[in-house]
Structure 1
Amino acid sequence: MKDGVADTQDTVVDGGAGEITMHGYTDLAAKQLNYQIAFAPKVTSSLPVIVAWMVNPATALGSLSD
């Protein structure tokens, strides 16, 4: 933080559902935010559900209701 401005260029949050990356700044004096945020889902954790929906949606609905 310098002169009321906090910035980041390489923040990464690695979560169970995916990865969030961001860069930008917060200007506390001007009360402004300027961030670019991206989310990349982890498809492999949802792969069995996706395949079930593709093969047979009725079976997938049944498995989700258990």
Structure 2
Amino acid sequence: MLKTAERLLAEHEYGGVDMRVLADEASVNLDATAHHFGSKGKPYIEAIMCRFRPISEERIWDQRL
């Protein structure tokens, strides 16, 4: 689902996609998606953070050496 959120964000920007579209595109249940994430912002934030976490972890590791 996060890959779908990332793709939709890139294609349509944040305002162009709602939770129903995200759930449909990711082939997941809308109610489960809403229950797990709460708002539409959370899956998009998580999709972006999945890209930044490895970079941050690498920087932290480099600083320790």
TM-score under structure 1 length normalisation: 0.25
Which structure has the greater CA radius of gyration?
1
Could you say which structure has the higher helix fraction? Answer: 2
